[in-house]
Amino acid sequence: MPFSWAVISAYIVGMTVAFLLNSVFIFPKSEKAMHTQARDFVLVNLSFFPLIWLVSVKVNNWLKTVGMTSHSEGLAHAIAISLPMLATFLIYKFFAFKERRYE
């Protein structure tokens, strides 16, 4: 499978696992219906996908250009997925998995 397609496949699998883990362990008290959480989660992740895909491909190409042929794809993908981590967590917390407030 070409690297760019592998990034797309990995992103879909990663999104599925991340949604399940976030909904069960990180934001279990969400006031939103599960299908609404899933929709919002997918929208957030799709908005970051072009950045992750582009950085993965470009960093992989750069690493190969400078002579790093071993593990360049894994390293490039790891760098790319780490870029939006804080932003996505905050968006999930205040948008996709908004928690109930008990008074």
Q: What is the pLDDT of residue 30?
A: 79
- How many domains does the chain fold into? 1
Q: Are 3 and 69 in contact (CB under 8 A)?
A: no
**Which domain range does residue 18 map to?**
3-96
Quote the crossing angle between the two packed helices 72-82 and 34-65, to the nearest 10°: 130
Q: What is the pLDDT of residues 47-92, one digit of tens each?
A: 889 989 999 999 999 999 999 989 999 999 999 988 888 788 888 7
The reply to whether 103 falls in a domain is: no
Q: What is the pLDDT of residue 37?
A: 86
Q: What is the pLDDT of residue 72?
A: 95
Q: What is the pLDDT of residue 101?
A: 60
Q: What is the pLDDT of residue 100?
A: 59
The reply to whether 55 falls in a domain is: yes
Q: Which amino acid is at 39?
A: R
Q: What is the pLDDT of residues 4-58, one digit of tens each?
A: 999 999 999 999 999 999 888 877 887 888 888 889 889 988 988 998 999 999 9
